[in-house]
Amino acid sequence: MSERKTIYLCLAHMSEEGVEQKYVKEAFDTNWVVPMGPNVNAFEQNLADFSNKNTDGSMLDRKVVCLSAGTAAVHLALIACGVKPGDEVIVQSFTFCASSHPITYLGAKPVFVDSERETWNMDPELLEKAIIERKELTGKYPKAIIPVALYGMPYQIDKIMAIADKYGIPVIEDAAEGMGSRFNGQVLGTFGRFGVLSFNGNKMITTSGGGALICRTPEDANEIMWYATQARDAYPYYEHTAIGYNYRMSNVCAGIGRGQMTVLDDHIAHHKHVQDLYRELLKDVEGVTLHEQPADSRYDSNFWLCAATLDPSVKIVGQENAYKEVIKSAVGGAAGVIKAVDSAVTDCQPNDNVEALRVFMLDKKVECRPVWKPMHKQPVYADAVAYVNGVSEEIFKVGFCLPAGPYVTDDDVHYIVDCIKEAIVK
């Protein structure tokens, strides 16, 4: 029997017809190997066509600008919202750092807001409390609000938009993990002034890297594109009245994106199918609870990752050895360089049984990562203002993610659940 493959959380894959290769070859054949070009224009239109179509057949009129990363999209959206040094921006605490780091790029200050239990996303009640208190304390409202579609789950956008409109604060939807997720039939990222998409290698579709910004108006789209191409003014020489950035997407990467758009609906359907299968197979596993979308039919998650929680009372094989050794390299499919640490523990980490499950599953060649650590508990944000209710910290202690990508087969899901059962000490 051949050695079992490693089952990663989520790896996008190419279309069966190899459409991506066609567009990439076209970019090389026409010498458009630059951060602009026909593929970029076409990919932007593909994304706009997808984002603007509601399930009831009605259409929106949003514009899309393709960029080098989802992080760049957050950065430019903040600039377009007028964020300057010393300003405050409200951002969901339960998220990846790319949602909050661009705030600090601008010398502004993140104000973290905790989650509600149903979707694990920004709590509207805490959001309004934060807005009111920051106005009382600073004399001005926060400049923007950034809710996040955690693991693809739609946030309570109806309530968030009502609060944002009440106080006149623009919303930047971080739908990097939620491409194709919908609320009441409308694609996430099209409700606020801006919507952030990501095409990193582990997202619903990929351009190897890259991202995009959904804009409500042509004026906003033009401004974003101007900033993304070094903010050059209309002279026959290089004249700059603002600081710009080299954030435009490559024509080669956009060619991959054009091909990926042909399989986007299939990818979303696959992730939903995997969620359904986990639900069926885990229903009788005591102590393991799959994170589900609200029963409210308006919520339509893409289930980018399937998340679950492990009851603290559940004993896992090898739990007595959890956090005994310092991590030496990036965990799972994580890329890049990590900084060496002296201790295996921090003051906020998953429970011992969750860490033991991660290690056990890794030995079985299954990637099983913890959920995101709340930003308000990150050392880099130790001095940041935070409005918390304990929800994200509680979920962080018990939560974990299960593989759900296009390469995950039904047999893989059965194997993964069998491994979880094997890991539990009776």
Residue 2, in any domain of the structure: no
Q: What is the pLDDT of residues 159-183, one digit of tens each?
A: 999 999 999 999 999 999 999 999 9
Q: What is the pLDDT of residues 128-169, one digit of tens each?
A: 999 999 999 999 999 999 999 999 999 999 999 999 999 999
**Predicted confidence band of residue 330 (pLDDT cuts 50, 70, 90):** low
pLDDT at residue 2 in the model: 56
**Predicted confidence band of residue 335 (pLDDT cuts 50, 70, 90):** low
Residue 351: how many other CB atoms lie within 10 Å: 20
pLDDT of residue 336 exceeding 70, the answer is no
Are β-strands 109-113 and 144-146 bridged in parallel, bridged antiparallel, or unpaired?
unpaired
Domain end position, chosen among 262, 296, 322: 262
Q: Are 421 and 324 in contact (CB under 8 A)?
A: no
pLDDT at residue 11 in the model: 85
Q: Looking at this protein, which amino acid is placed at residue 425?
A: V
pLDDT of residue 395 exceeding 50, the answer is yes
Residue 4, in any domain of the structure: no
**Predicted confidence band of residue 33 (pLDDT cuts 50, 70, 90):** confident
Q: In what order do the strands lie in the sheet with 182-183?
A: 186-187, 182-183, 299-300
pTM greater than the 0.75 cutoff = yes
Residue 278, in any domain of the structure: yes
Whole-angstrom distance, CA of residue 22 vs CA of residue 28: 10
Q: What is the pLDDT of residues 98-119, one digit of tens each?
A: 999 999 999 999 999 999 999 9
User: 253 with 316, same domain?
Assistant: no
Q: Where are the beta strands (DSSP E) in 255-384?
A: 288-290, 299-300, 306-310
Whole-angstrom distance, CA of residue 30 vs CA of residue 32: 6
Residues 6+ apart with CB under 8 A from 29: none
Q: What is the mean pLDDT of the chain?
A: 95
Residue 418, in any domain of the structure: yes
Whole-angstrom distance, CA of residue 210 vs CA of residue 69: 4
Whole-angstrom distance, CA of residue 122 vs CA of residue 116: 6
Specify the CATH number for the domain of residue 227. 3.40.640.10
In which element (H, E) is residue 195 found? strand 194-198
Tokens of 156: 């309570």
Residue 384, in any domain of the structure: yes
Residue 6, in any domain of the structure: no
Residues 6+ apart with CB under 8 A from 235: none
Q: Are 233 and 242 in contact (CB under 8 A)?
A: no
User: 242 with 346, same domain?
Assistant: no
Q: Where are the alpha helices (DSSP H) in 30-156?
A: 38-52, 70-80, 101-105, 124-138
**Predicted confidence band of residue 332 (pLDDT cuts 50, 70, 90):** low
User: 269 with 248, same domain?
Assistant: no
pLDDT of residue 331 exceeding 80, the answer is no
For the chain, what is the radius of gyration of the CA atoms? 22
Tokens of 12: 């996008």
pLDDT of residue 320 exceeding 60, the answer is yes
User: 284 with 222, same domain?
Assistant: no
Tokens of 28: 């090389």
pLDDT of residue 337 exceeding 80, the answer is no
Residue 152, in any domain of the structure: yes
Q: Looking at this protein, which amino acid is placed at residue 221?
A: A
Average pLDDT over residues 33-50: 92
Nearest partner of 309 among 194, 392, 246, judged by Cα:
392
User: 148 with 123, same domain?
Assistant: yes
In which element (H, E) is residue 359 found? helix 352-363
In which element (H, E) is residue 355 found? helix 352-363
pLDDT at residue 423 in the model: 98
User: 128 with 233, same domain?
Assistant: yes
Q: Are 17 and 411 in contact (CB under 8 A)?
A: no
Tokens of 319: 């739990």
User: 98 with 245, same domain?
Assistant: yes
User: 256 with 122, same domain?
Assistant: yes
| Range from 25-39, 73-87, 158-172 carrying the lowest mean pLDDT | 25-39
Phi, psi of 110 (to 5 degrees): -75, 140
Q: Is 74 helix (H, G, I), strand (E, B) or coil?
A: helix
pLDDT of residue 43 exceeding 90, the answer is yes
Domain end position, chosen among 262, 277, 298: 262
pLDDT of residue 372 exceeding 80, the answer is yes
User: 392 with 279, same domain?
Assistant: yes
Selected residue with higher pLDDT from 258 and 330: 258
Average pLDDT over residues 33-37: 81
User: 199 with 281, same domain?
Assistant: no
DSSP line for 246-304: B-BPPHHHHHHHHHHTTTHHHHHHHHHHHHHHHHHHHTTSTTEEE----SSTTEE---S
Q: Are 51 and 189 in contact (CB under 8 A)?
A: yes
User: 225 with 134, same domain?
Assistant: yes
Q: What share of the chain is helix, strand, coil (3-state, %, to 5)?
A: 35, 15, 45
Nearest partner of 220 among 90, 67, 81, judged by Cα:
81
Average pLDDT over residues 183-210: 96
**Residues of the domain holding 417:** 265-423
Nearest partner of 34 among 349, 249, 327, judged by Cα:
249
Domain end position, chosen among 262, 295, 317: 262
User: 274 with 155, same domain?
Assistant: no
Q: How many domains is the chain partitioned into structurally?
A: 2
Q: What is the pLDDT of residues 244-298, one digit of tens each?
A: 999 999 999 999 999 999 999 999 999 999 999 999 999 999 999 999 999 999 9
Specify the CATH number for the domain of residue 327. 3.90.1150.10
Give the rounded percent of residues in the chain with a pLDDT score beyond 70: 98
Q: Looking at this protein, which amino acid is placed at residue 381?
A: Y
Residue 353, in any domain of the structure: yes
